[in-house]
Every structure is written in structure tokens, then in C-alpha cells.
Structure 1
Amino acid sequence: MAELFDSYASDFAQLTSSITAKLDKEVPSQAGEARKATLRRADMEADEADEILSQMEIEVNGFPQSVKSKYAVQLRGYKAELEKLRRSVRTQVQNAGAGGSRFDAALEADGDVESGRSSYDPQAQRQRLLQGTSTLEDGSRRLQESHRIALETEDLGADILRDLRSQREQIENSRDTLRQADSNIDRSSRTLSKMIRRAKQQKLVTIGIITVLVLLILLILYGKFS
């Protein structure tokens, strides 16, 4: 049991390290849809980590009392660590949303200024419109690509969660089977012990009967020849 718990702990550590790296290194250097996509991946990894904690909690509940408290304390520490990361992700998501709004407002303000200036220069206005159209098309392509990546990431995360749930069910079924096998072995052991005791008792009774018969035969023979 402890080995499986340690294996879950290793997987949990890898996920939290990945989330921390995204929050500390990737997100600060990104903006717009790229930043939001990174935050979505971090949130999905947090869900995976939470699923692993559920598996670990199941393991802890099956531990003997002598070691259960030790692993329960460790599990509480993992939960606190994950909750802290979740708060950081939520904060970054809120900041990303607010930043996006400010960025859109700035674009609209710049557009108003440029429109005001363009009234004095039709050629410059046409050039800016062409550039704006190109920028919009490029932004649309990037949004579509980001959306595609987000969908693929969500599908991958859903597959991973399904695999984890399936593994959890297999582990629970295996544990139930082992418990049933242990119960059957205990009953078989008790039955064998009873059979051995009875065999020994029957052997002693048989030896006693044979001894009595031998003594009787000796007495009869002694009576005949004396």
C-alpha cells in the first residue's frame, strides 16, 4: 500500500511542478489567448492532481492505524499545496481577463485617435484600414489556432481523467478481490487446523485402543499358561 501511495505522491509532485512552472515562468511572458490557454492547461493539471489526491485518500483509509496518521498528515499537506496553486491559477485567470479588457479598450482608443487624424489624410487612412484588416485576419487565424489547441488539450485532459477513473475502479476491484481472498485463506486455515487437531485426536484414540487390546491379549495368554 505504501508503495502505491508513494507512486501517487510522485505523480502529484510532477503535476504541481508543472503548474508552478506555468504560473512562474510561462504566464508572465505571455499575453492574450496564449496566456489563457496556458492557464487552462494549468487548471486541467490541477484537476488531475485533485483526482490523484482522491486516490491517495483511498489508500490512506486502508492503512493500519499505526501508520495511518503519518500519511494522513502528508495528505493534508498535499491538499493545502494544491489549494494554494488553485488560488494562484484563479488569480491569474482574473488578471488575464481584466488585462484583456484594458487591452481592448486601449485598441478602441487608438482607433478613435487614428480615425480623427485620418480625416486629414485619405491615403494614410486607407493604408491604416488595410493594415487593420490584415491584423484582424491574422488575429482571427491565431484565435482559431488557439481554439483548436484548447479543444485538443481539453480532449486530452478528458481522456486522462477517464483513464484515471478506470484505473481507480480497477484498483478498488483488485483490493476487494484481495480482501475476499484473504478471508477465504483465513477460513481455509482455520478449517485445516481443526482437521489436523481431529486427526491427532483420532490417532491418540486409535493408539489407546490398540494398547488396550494388546494388554487384554497378554492377560488372556497369561491366564491360559499360568
Structure 2
Amino acid sequence: MWRRLVSGGHLRLPLPGRSIPHRSAAAAAAAHPTVASAVNSILLRSLKEHYLEVSKMTPPPKVNPPSPFTIVKGALDADGPVLRRTYNDEEISLYVMRLANLVPGGGREDDGEDDINQLFLHVSIAKPGQEEALHFLCGLYPDALGIHSVSMRPKLETTGFLVVPKKYNGPIFEDLDEKVRDVLHSYIEERGVNESLFPFLQAWLYVKDHRGLMRWFKSVGTFINKDKSAKDD
């Protein structure tokens, strides 16, 4: 069920038929407060129905991250790292989102399930006493991991998914010598960054999408309800 409802990084739900055409409803609401109240009631009812529908969805089976990565506390409610581990004196942090979210027009219905099988992985490798960290931007798939770029960037603290570099960002990865590319792949694979991360990160994004959508229905409904209550007073 989750695969059918998730596309392009967002949960998809069937939209109810609109009882009042958009333009005529807006014009009528402006002229008649009672119509505006009716529109609010219809919207609140629709939001509640969808909220209840989403709340009953069965989540995907629980998947644990590959050892020794551990889940960052509070990651589901933030935009920071999802997984962390140490490797010798290094701290490795992983950030993830769907590749479809970065492509204009991504997530269209004719894209099939390819959208949810393409993840954008941001790997930050930091060492103590150094202001910058080594960053890998990768495409993660069920059976492969590909590096898009490698750069030195300021260490990520608690906020922000990406930090825009203020200086030279390194060569285009594909322009590097093949031996260099192979060694860089080996470098992150030695630190446990490979396609084995995909099952956990995909399931984690599903859960994050679900929580975000539940929160969205609730917050919009609360806003509309307060507006409705103020007009009724």
C-alpha cells in the first residue's frame, strides 16, 4: 500500500470531488459570509477524512540500519542527519532525500516506481580539530551507489541539509581519472557507505513522509478551524 501511495517523495491520496467549483465558491464567499462558513466546514470535513485515512495506513516493516550506523535522535522531525557512526577518529553523518525532489517536474504519475527507488545521499566525514569536512554527494539505489561530487565544506552542525561552499568546489567527478574515482568509491565503501543502506533509508523516508503529512492535515485544519471560530463569534 505504501508504494501505491508514495510517489516522487510525497504520499499521494485520492482527492475528493469538489462540491463547490473553485472560482464560484471564492466569489460567493466574498459576497456572503454564510457561504464562506460553509466552505470552511466542507474543507474541515475533507481534511479530517484524509487525516483519518492516512492515520490508518500500515507502515512498512521495521528495518534496522546496517551496523555500526545508529539512528540520530529526533531525525524524523528535523532536516539534519539520519544516521551516524564513527570510523577510527572520524565522525560520519548521512543525510538523505529523494532524487525526485531535486528534479523539476519530478514525481509525475507517469514516472512509475523509479522515483521511490532513487535516493540522494549526502555523506559528511569530519575529523576532530578540523573546520572542514569531506563531503560526498551520492545517488543511492537498491543495488548500487554512485558518487556525483566530492568537496571540502564547512562542518554541518545542527541545521541545514547542504552548506553552499564559499570556494572552489572541486572538479566534476566524471572528469576525474578512473583510478581516482575507483579509489574514492573504495574510500566510502570502507566506511560502510554502500547500497546496503537503501532498505533502511527508503523505509525511513516513508515514515517521515507519513508523519509530515499527518502534521500537515492537522495544522491546516487547526488554522481553518480557528478562522471559522473567529467568524462565528
Bin for the TM-score computed over the shorter chain:
0.3 to 0.5
TM-score where L is the length of structure 1: 0.33
> Bigger radius of gyration, 1 or 2?
1
Q: TM-score, normalised by structure 2?
A: 0.32
